[in-house]
Chain A
Amino acid sequence: MQNYIGISALLIGLGMAGMALADDDDCRVPMANWQPREAVQKMAEAQGWTVRRIKTDDGCYEIIGRDASGREIEAKVDPATLAIVEFEYDDDDDRGRKAAPSSSTTPPANGLFTPGTKPVVK
């Protein structure tokens, strides 16, 4: 009985690990079905994007560049269909918490610094 429980727990654990690794924004396309980078470039240009870089990530193409209004973008694209799997503006994460330059804010009161002093960085 104990062995049965142990093996079940192991299998459930392995299953969960597998699920954790299988992100929704991954692409699983055999290499034979991949469209060439030139097709990705054309697709991006058709969207009005300026491409800075095309790379592969999680089995997808990833386009890094700017949209028609000049905002920095990252778009994951299915390598076979060129459908957009994930799209984000590169500045999204920093909205609301733009890390302040060291000259405009005091360091955190973590006890490591002399209070009120600021690091000088070159």
Chain B
Amino acid sequence: MNIPLTALALTTALASPALARPVTMTTNMAQYGGDGAYLALYVTDAQGAYQGSLWMAGDKSKYYEHLSDWYRATAGDAAQIDGITGASVGAGQQLTITLDLADALFDAGYSLHIDAGVEDMRNSPSEIVVPLTSSGAGQPVQGARYVRDFTYDL
């Protein structure tokens, strides 16, 4: 299991505050004509292995299985999202998250994923998959179904 080792390595790297940077993630939702969307934002490594979650929009755990890639990776483990959970995001709304993210995640093969789910509508796992790179900052990425676009700014 390489997740704890990776987490340990990243945690060690984060011992110095200089090795993290504030990152603002902006998710603009499309007008998909449904209830508020559940969104899971999480990171995978170059091999696609789950590394950890950054945010969960939507607080009812019974719906998390519809965020199917995230759920498959975590088995719905609540500890993955304790303290980083908020409200679901309505159609046409914007979710902006600013967090101190490890420098080690950039230009090292890591990707940010967004799984999306809406009640009575189709699941949309990995609706957004965007490599975390310095050059990709500020470049909007289009979503497939519920997310109009997603941008991260350094």
User: Which residues of A are interface residues toward B (Cβ below 8 A)?
Assistant: 55, 90, 92-94, 97-102, 104-115, 117-122
Say yes or no: B84 contacts A107, CB within 8 Å: yes
Please, how many angstroms separate the alpha-carbon atoms of A69 and B86 in the complex? 27
Q: Is B6 an interface residue (CB 8 A)?
A: yes
Q: Which of B56-64, B123-131, B133-141, B142-150 contacts A (4 or more CB under 8 A)?
A: B56-64
19 additional A-B residue pairs with CB within 8 Å, beyond A100-B83, A111-B52 = A55-B120, A93-B60, A93-B61, A94-B59, A97-B61, A99-B61, A101-B85, A105-B83, A107-B99, A108-B80, A108-B84, A109-B7, A110-B7, A111-B51, A111-B102, A113-B20, A115-B14, A119-B55, A119-B99
Residues of B in contact (CB 8 Å), total: 41
Q: Is B101 an interface residue (CB 8 A)?
A: yes
Partner pick for A100 among B17, B43, B85, CB 8 A cutoff: B85
Say yes or no: B59 contacts A99, CB within 8 Å: yes
- Whether A108 contacts B52 in the complex (CB less than 8 A), given A93-B60, A102-B86, A114-B20, comes out as yes
Residues of A within 8 A of B56 (CB): 99
Interface residues of chain A: helix, strand, loop or mixed (majority): loop
- Whether A121 contacts B95 in the complex (CB less than 8 A), given A100-B83, A108-B53, comes out as yes
Residues of A within 8 A of B11 (CB): 109, 111, 115
Closest residue of chain A to B43, judged by CB?
A112
Nearest 8 A/B pairs, CB to CB = A111-B10, A110-B52, A105-B83, A99-B85, A111-B7, A114-B100, A93-B62, A119-B99
- Whether A119 contacts B7 in the complex (CB less than 8 A), given A55-B120, A94-B61, comes out as no
Say yes or no: B120 contacts A121, CB within 8 Å: no
Say yes or no: A113 contacts B120, CB within 8 Å: no
Residues of B within 8 A of A100 (CB): 82-83, 85
Say yes or no: A112 contacts B51, CB within 8 Å: yes
Partner pick for B100 among A98, A108, A109, A117, CB 8 A cutoff: A117
